Amino acid sequence: MEIKGRTVIVTGASGGIGRALSLEFAKNGARVVCCARRRNRLEKTVELIKESGGVGLAVPADITDRSQVRQVVRETLEHFGVIDVLFNNAGSFRSIAPVHEVDPELWWHDVTVNLYGSLLLIREVLPHMIARDEGVIINMNGGRPVGGTGYACGKAGLRELTRILSQELKIIKSSVVVFAASPGLVRTEMTELQARTPAGQKWIPSTREAFELGKVRKPEEIARATISMLKIARPELSGKTYGPDTDFSEFSP
Ligand SMILES: NC(=O)c1ccc[n+]([C@@H]2O[C@H](COP(=O)([O-])OP(=O)(O)OC[C@H]3O[C@@H](n4cnc5c(N)ncnc54)[C@H](OP(=O)(O)O)[C@@H]3O)[C@@H](O)[C@H]2O)c1
């Protein structure tokens, strides 16, 4: 897929990996619709896009709210007329506790953002992409840490959603493709919570250790890998997982 001139929706674009993705898409000539809940931070992402000569639009939304997700899609189509790529990057990892102590509400919040929120975006953009017989959906994978079952279960569900969706698209002979992205450990607000809080240090000590050893990825690495994946995207690759370590020559025809 040629990135230039494409319209891309990035969720979770208010910081971390989502901001890097948004900037990289814009740098490659895409029109980027940035979605997350915190308006100020979202507008900062768009400001950075515009400073570098790109095109961006901030649409604040909670992805677990169906009417707000519909609004994101509506505004995207009003402004740009098309949706070429959806990057389901928004994620939540607020519940850090073992199962016997976990707050069920917070646990369910993590499942909901990671799984249901991503499903809502997919459900809204897919009919549009299927009608055009073109488009790429990318879902963000995540780890399976002890002490993070809400997050892990949400991401496990999203992995299954990705796998089965790619099969469904093949059955209806659609050219729409779906990928899973796997970033490795990246220093962001999400992982800072694991490194800094007592619960994080107790249950996910590997995050702090990795920070201390400097064994972390930069958000820009996953952003660049995403552009590489999109450049070679084709229906036969649907369902694949990629990340900063992917050797894209293996995916060549
Ligand atoms: N960092 C890592 O090491 C790592 C590793 C593997 C996978 N990931 C995945 O990468 C993705 C990005 O994470 P990150 O590390 O960049 O963390 P982050 O900085 O905490 O970013 C999470 C993003 O999700 C947004 N978000 C959370 N709940 C939302 C909701 N209900 N509606 C809309 N947006 C929501 C946040 O924005 P608002 O708060 O403004 O809404 C924020 O922009 C996540 O899916 C995460 O699971 C990260």
The answer to whether residue 203 is domain-embedded is no
Structure tokens at 239: 């369902």
Number of domains in the chain: 1
Q: Residues 242, 179: contact at Cβ < 8 Å?
A: yes
Mean pLDDT (whole number) for 56-75: 98
Q: What sign for the dihedral angle of Cα 68, 74, 80, 85?
A: positive
pLDDT beyond 80 at 248: yes
The answer to whether residue 172 is domain-embedded is yes
pLDDT at 48: 98
The answer to whether residue 196 is domain-embedded is no
* Nearest alpha-carbon partner for 46 in 35, 58, 37: 58
The answer to whether residue 205 is domain-embedded is no
Check if 28 has its Cβ closer than 6 Å to any atom of ligand 1.
no
Instruction: Tell me the pLDDT tens digit for each residue of 153-172.
Output: 999 999 999 999 999 999 99
Distance of alpha carbon 23 from alpha carbon 223, whole angstroms: 8
The answer to whether residue 150 is domain-embedded is yes
Sheet of 7-11: strands edge to edge? Answer: 55-58, 31-35, 7-11, 85-88, 136-140, 177-181, 241-242
67 Cβ contact partners less than 8 Å away, ≥ 6 residues apart? none
pLDDT at 68: 98
pLDDT at 249: 83
What's 99's domain CATH number? 3.40.50.720
Residue from 11, 114, 138, 188 to probe ligand 1 pocket by mutation (most atoms less than 8 Å from CB) = 188
Distance of alpha carbon 78 from alpha carbon 72, whole angstroms: 10
Nearest ligand 1 atom to the CA of 64 is: 31
160 Cβ contact partners less than 8 Å away, ≥ 6 residues apart? none
pLDDT at 221: 96
Ligand 1 mean position to 252 CA, how many Å? 31
Q: Are strands 55-58 and 85-88 parallel, antiparallel or unpaired?
A: unpaired
pLDDT at 161: 98
Distance of alpha carbon 152 from alpha carbon 155, whole angstroms: 5
pLDDT at 234: 95
Q: Residues 30, 53: contact at Cβ < 8 Å?
A: no
Model pTM score: 0.98
The answer to whether residue 248 is domain-embedded is no
The answer to whether residue 65 is domain-embedded is yes
pLDDT at 199: 97
3-state secondary structure of 33: strand
Tokens 């949706």, residue located: 83
pLDDT beyond 80 at 252: no
Check if 62 has its Cβ closer than 6 Å to any atom of ligand 1.
yes
Ligand 1 mean position to 219 CA, how many Å? 12
Ligand 1 mean position to 172 CA, how many Å? 32
208 pLDDT band, cuts 50/70/90, is very high
Instruction: State how far the alpha carbon of 142 is from the alpha carbons of 43, 151, 190, in Å.
Output: 26, 8, 12
Q: Following DSSP, what letter does each residue of 179-238 receive, concatenated? A: EEE----B-SHHHHHHHHSHHHHHH-HHHHHHHHHT--B-HHHHHHHHHHHHHT--GGGT
Mean pLDDT value across the chain = 97
The answer to whether residue 198 is domain-embedded is no
Instruction: Tell me the pLDDT tens digit for each residue of 84-127.
Output: 999 999 999 999 999 999 999 999 999 999 999 999 999 999 99
Distance of alpha carbon 25 from alpha carbon 48, whole angstroms: 12
Question: Looking at the annotation, which residues are catalytic?
Answer: 151, 155
Q: What percent of the chain has pLDDT over 90?
A: 96
Which range of residues forms the domain containing residue 222? Answer: 7-183+218-237
Tokens 């400097």, residue located: 214
